[in-house]
C-alpha cells in the first residue's frame, strides 16, 4: 500500500520524494509506504488552504450545503464501515470490535452531529445605551486550521477535529501521527469523494518536523492538537509568536474510587474496562485506583484474576479482548513503569516480566 499527500485537491508525492513506512503492530510487517511531507509541502498546503478560505466556492457556500457535505462524509464512512474497521485494526492494533463500534461509528456520528450545527451558528444583536448605534456579533470562520492527531484512535479523533472545523467554514490541514496515518488518508479520500472544493481539506503525512512547521507557520490561525503534555507545551510556545488560537487535549491521570460499600464484582469489571480499553492507550484510562482499605485485598485479588484471564492477541483475531500496543516505544514505556514500580516496592500481582 502506498499513500500520498493531498494538497489543493490533488494527490501527490512529497516535493523532495521522501517516504516512510508504517508497520502492523500485531506482526511487525510493513503495512504501507507513505509520502513524508517537507517544508515545500507545508508551504503549498498552507497556501492552498488560505486561498480556499476566501474562494467563493467555499466562503459563500450556504450553511445547508456545508451540512450536506458533512452528512455525505458520514454516509461514505458507513458505506465503507467494514473496510475502515479492518484498516484501523491493522494500522493501530485495536481489536476489530473496538475499531467498528468505537472508531468507525464514532467518526460517522461526529460528522452527522456537526452537520446539524452548520445551520445553527447564529450571531446576536444587543441593546446599547448610545444613540443611533447598532451592536451585533457575527460569527465567522477562524481561518486555516492545523489539526494534529494521535495514534490511539486515529480515525475517530480525525473526525473530532475535521467535522467541527469544516462545519464552521474553516479550511484545514490535517497531520496524522506517523505511526497510524492510514485511516486518516482513507477519510480524506472520502472527503474528496463527498465534494469539498479544492484546498478546503488538505493532508500532510510525516513525522514531528511536519507538525512543528505547521505550528510555527504565520498563516496558520488555529492549532488543534491531541497528544503528550510535553509536545503540548512546545506547541503553546511555538504558537505564541502570532497569538494563534490553540486547543490541546493532553495526557491524563484519571482516578477511580472504590468505596467501602462498592459491589466489588461490578467495580472489577468497570475498572478493567476503564484501564485496558484499547490496551490502555486512552487519554482518560484509569491509572490510579483508590480502594477503601477494608476492601483492598478482595478487590486486588479479583482484579488480578480477571486481568490474568484476558487474552492478548492480534486485533483481527476473533474475540481478542486486548490487542498489541501500537509500537515498540510505548511497550518500552510500559515495561519501564512496571519495573520502576516494583523497584520502589510495589507488588506485581499479574502480568509484567
- 329 shares a domain with 187: no
Q: Are 84 and 94 in contact (CB under 8 A)?
A: no
Answer with the residue of higher pLDDT: 242 or 175: 175
- 244 shares a domain with 313: no
- 276 shares a domain with 332: yes
- Identify the domain boundary among 230, 249, 268: 249
- 17 shares a domain with 121: yes
Nearest to 37 by CA among 14, 10, 16, 57: 14
C-alpha cell of residue 89 = 485494526
pLDDT for 252 beyond 90: no
Per-residue model confidence as pLDDT tens digits over 116-128: 999 999 999 999 9
pLDDT computed for residue 150 by the predictor: 96
Please check whether residue 351 lies inside any domain of the structure: no
- Known catalytic residue at 189: no
pLDDT computed for residue 313 by the predictor: 94
Number of domains making up the chain: 2
Please check whether residue 39 lies inside any domain of the structure: yes
Rounded Cα distance between 80 and 186, Å, is 10
Can you give the pTM of this predicted structure?
0.93
- Identify the domain boundary among 249, 284, 303: 249
Rounded Cα distance between 77 and 274, Å, is 27
pLDDT computed for residue 353 by the predictor: 60
Interacting residues of 79 by C-beta distance below 8 A, sequence separation 6+: none
Please check whether residue 63 lies inside any domain of the structure: yes
Strands (E), 128-230: 135-137, 144-148, 171-175, 201-203, 222-226
Please check whether residue 156 lies inside any domain of the structure: yes
- 331 shares a domain with 186: no
- Identify the domain boundary among 194, 219, 249: 249
Per-residue model confidence as pLDDT tens digits over 164-175: 999 999 999 999
Q: Which residue has the cell 523532495?
A: 16
Tell me which of 43, 78, 189, 283 is the catalytic residue. Answer: 283
Please check whether residue 294 lies inside any domain of the structure: yes
Domain with 314 in it: 254-343
CATH code (residue 313): 3.40.309.10
- Known catalytic residue at 118: no
Per-residue model confidence as pLDDT tens digits over 9-40: 999 999 999 999 999 999 999 999 999 999 99
Tell me which of 78, 86, 189, 249 is the catalytic residue. Answer: 249
pLDDT for 352 beyond 80: no
Amino acid at each position: 500500500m502506498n499513500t500520498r499527500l493531498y494538497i489543493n485537491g490533488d494527490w501527490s508525492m512529497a516535493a523532495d520524494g521522501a517516504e516512510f513506512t508504517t508497520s502492523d503492530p500485531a506482526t511487525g510487517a510493513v503495512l504501507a509506504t507513505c509520502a513524508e511531507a517537507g517544508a515545500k509541502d507545508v508551504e503549498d498546503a498552507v497556501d492552498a488552504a488560505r486561498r480556499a478560505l476566501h474562494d467563493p466556492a467555499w466562503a459563500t457556500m450556504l450553511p445547508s450545503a456545508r451540512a450536506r457535505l458533512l452528512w455525505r462524509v458520514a454516509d461514505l464512512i458507513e458505506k465503507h464501515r467494514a473496510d475502515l474497521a479492518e484498516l484501523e485494526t491493522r494500522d493501530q492494533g485495536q481489536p476489530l470490535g473496538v475499531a467498528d463500534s468505537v472508531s468507525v461509528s464514532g467518526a460517522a456520528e461526529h460528522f452527522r452531529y456537526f452537520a446539524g450545527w452548520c445551520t445553527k451558528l447564529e450571531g446576536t444583536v444587543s441593546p446599547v445605551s448610545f444613540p443611533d448605534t447598532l451592536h451585533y456579533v457575527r460569527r465567522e470562520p477562524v481561518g486555516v486550521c492545523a489539526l494534529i492527531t494521535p495514534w490511539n484512535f486515529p480515525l475517530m479523533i480525525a473526525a473530532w477535529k475535521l467535522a467541527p472545523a469544516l462545519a464552521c467554514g474553516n479550511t484545514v490541514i490535517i497531520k496524522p501521527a506517523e505511526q497510524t496515518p492510514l485511516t486518516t488518508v482513507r477519510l480524506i479520500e472520502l472527503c474528496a469523494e463527498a465534494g469539498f472544493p479544492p484546498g478546503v481539506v488538505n493532508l500532510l503525512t510525516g513525522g514531528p518536523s511536519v507538525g512543528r512547521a505547521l505550528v510555527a507557520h504565520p498563516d496558520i490561525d488555529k492549532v488543534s492538537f491531541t497528544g503528550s503534555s510535553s509536545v503540548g507545551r512546545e506547541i503553546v510556545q511555538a504558537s505564541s509568536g502570532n497569538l494563534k488560537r490553540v486547543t490541546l487535549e493532553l495526557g491524563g491521570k484519571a482516578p477511580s474510587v472504590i468505596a467501602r460499600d462498592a459491589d466489588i464484582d461490578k467495580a472489577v469489571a468497570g475498572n478493567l474496562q476503564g484501564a485496558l480499553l484499547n490496551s490502555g492507550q486512552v487519554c482518560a484510562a484509569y491509572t490510579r485506583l483508590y480502594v477503601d482499605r477494608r476492601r483492598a485485598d478482595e478487590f486486588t485479588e479479583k482484579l488480578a484474576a480477571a486481568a490474568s484471564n484476558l487474552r492478548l492477541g492480534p486485533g483481527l483475531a476473533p474475540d481478542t479482548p486486548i490487542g498489541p500496543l501500537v509500537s515498540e516505544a510505548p511497550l518500552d514505556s510500559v515495561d519501564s513503569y512496571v519495573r520502576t514500580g516494583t523497584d520502589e516496592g510495589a507488588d506485581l500481582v499479574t502480568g509484567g516480566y
